[in-house]
Amino acid sequence: MNEKKEFKPYIPADKITPEITFTSIFMGIILAVVFGAANAYLGLRVGMTVSASIPAAVIAMGVIRVIMRKNSILESNIVQTVGSAGESLAAGAIFTLPALFLWAAEGKMDKPSVVEITLIALLGGLLGVFFMVPLRNALIVKEHGILPYPEGTACAEVLLAGEEGGANATTVFAGMGFAAFFKFVIDGLKVVPSEVSLRVKNFNGEIGTQIYPAVMSVGYICGPRISSYMFAGGLLSWMVLIPIIVLFGEQLVLYPGTVTIGEIFAADGASGIWGSYIRYIGAGALAAGGIISLIKSLPLIVRTFADALKSMKGSGTVDTSRTAKDMPMGIVLGAIAVLTLLVWLVPAIPVSLVGAIIVVVFGFFFATVSSRMVGLVGSSNNPVSGMAIATLLIATVILKLTGDTGAPGMQGAIAIGSIICIVAAISGDTSQDLKTGYLLGSTPKKQQIGEIVGVIASALAIGATLYLLDSAWGFGSKELGAPQATLMKMIIEGVMENNLPWGLVFIGVFIAIVVEILGIPVLPFAIGVYLPVQLNACIMVGGLVRLAFDKMKKNEEEKKQITSDGILFCSGMIAGEGLVGILLALFAIFGLDQVIDLSKVLNMPAAVSNIGSLVLFALIIVSLLKFSIWKKRK
């Protein structure tokens, strides 16, 4: 039987090159804060985030290799390691923590402090990194060639293609610039409306599209299949369920509404029916979708956990080379113990001893699952929301049974869910980064330190970001729907107070089951049911552009390059729009949003302004074409 061939990284173990330097840490922190804030804004609008590893790697390579004239691939790798932590921590935080703000707005509890948000994010992020350290050898080294880690491998390929670093970095920065301009015109100057809607006479449905560059970019990055599932869910809500509710219930007062359905529709149109009823149907579909995805993954989850523990036990001979050095296990275990005690003892975190035990048990389990699952199916298919829903349900039930009810119980449940969600997101990100480092020949210990730096930087920024966005528009508003956090809030309230409109929730649950039986991926469809159709349609436009690119009659290498450039440009657009979103939030707080608002000055008729919106949307698509299909390449 042939022995397994020893893997040789790009930089050999006996060669020492710069990794953790002032440049790599400084640039990484900037990217962690930038991508963290941008993804927080995107996630609160759309309910999903995108990976920041590849754009961070491209920017790092562009700056270090092209601008600074340094040839240090491992330094660039540390930049993307630190930078990508911000996006993962933001994803975990914004899926859960805004629920605390929503309860505060309802008068059920005080608004969380910046310190509370920062500490929850920090402890969850650090636990995610430390849980992953003992798993690295089991999952990254021993399973090399078995677990592909798609994003980690792609990131290594981007860094290895360093000769094109400057051109690729230009594409990312161009995306940021174009999206910043478009976002400022749409939501800052308000020259044109942000969405175009169409209603048909004698029919109570509504269709339309938003015109945001970041939302369209999500569709391009996700691709046509995922986009179409989301759009199908939106069509079911807005062109089937809403018309049925209005048609048969016009004279009825249906809980949670307080006036007749006809009055709600007359006052706010289809949006009013969506806000009063469809959101609960969508929440039922989303919760069922999360649990179904978890149940389907259960055999894999159990096998994963068992395999990882088995690999950790049978370590065999100890490799002392540079590329095998992890953080010392004594420090790792000590840090996990201290962090667990802090979750329980720090007054700002509303978690009891029982909650702290739940955090550690579920945290390590889901960190293991997340790390292996992203290795198999990639970060985009990692069922983090399903894990968070399952944790929330179990934690809320346990807290209720132990007498921890009311506002303290709800606060404790969301804090536990937040920490677990962040642990799962950070573990997945850390494992992708360690895979990139393994292929390139990075020192694992230095990457793990880089992850810790990224977590600390983005945790310090996320509290201020959430406060800023809530102060400007409020979570649950039209500008920031916070769909995932609203869902988590509904789940906890449903268990603690039993006040949900269960009829609507169960309609959503059985829609999800039907969709699963038909063989359609439940989660993207359920997200589509839950979100406004205008947002889903904008995502669908991005998916159709990607479909057109995929169907081009060009050779495979050229098509791959065009698609890659499109993804980089769209990643830049997401970051650019997110940053201007944060800037406009500041404007709103200081009253400058009214000063720059040109909508009342222009006062265009609805038909003209809608045409203006569609023209601007066409320009956004043209900018994507310019930096992908029409891009001049050497």
The predicted structure's pLDDT at residue 137: 81
- Rounded to two decimals, the pTM is 0.84
Quick check: 165 pLDDT over 70?
A: no
Query: What pLDDT, in 10s, does the model give residues 363-416?
Result: 888 888 788 778 876 666 566 777 788 788 888 888 888 888 888 899 999 999
Contacts of residue 497, defined as CB under 8 A and 6 or more positions apart, other chains included, come to: none
Strands of 199-309, DSSP E: 207-210
Q: Are 60 and 32 in contact (CB under 8 A)?
A: no
Contacts of residue 116, defined as CB under 8 A and 6 or more positions apart, other chains included, come to: 348, 349, 350, 463
Q: Which residue type sits at 6?
A: E
How far is the CA of 412 from the CAs of 315, 351, 363, in angstroms?
38, 5, 15
CA atoms of 587 and 472, how far apart (whole Å)? 8
Query: What pLDDT, in 10s, does the model give residues 461-509?
Result: 999 999 999 999 999 888 888 888 888 898 898 888 887 788 998 999 9
The predicted structure's pLDDT at residue 202: 87
Query: Nearest Cα to 219, choosing from 559, 573, 530?
Result: 573
Q: If you search the block for the tokens 């608002």, which residue do you land on? A: 597
CA atoms of 65 and 498, how far apart (whole Å)? 58
CA atoms of 422 and 417, how far apart (whole Å)? 9
Least confident range of 24-28, 200-204, 259-263: 200-204
Q: Which of 251-255, 338-342, 575-579 has the highest mean pLDDT?
A: 338-342
Query: What pLDDT, in 10s, does the model give residues 261-273?
Result: 999 999 989 999 9
Which sign does the torsion angle of CA 11, 16, 19, 22 carry? negative
- Chain centroid, CA 311 distance in Å: 30
Q: Take residue 311 and report the two structure tokens written for it.
A: 């690999």
| Bridge partners for 196 per DSSP | 209
Least confident range of 17-31, 319-333, 429-443, 587-601: 319-333
Binning pLDDT at 50, 70 and 90, where does residue 118 land? very high
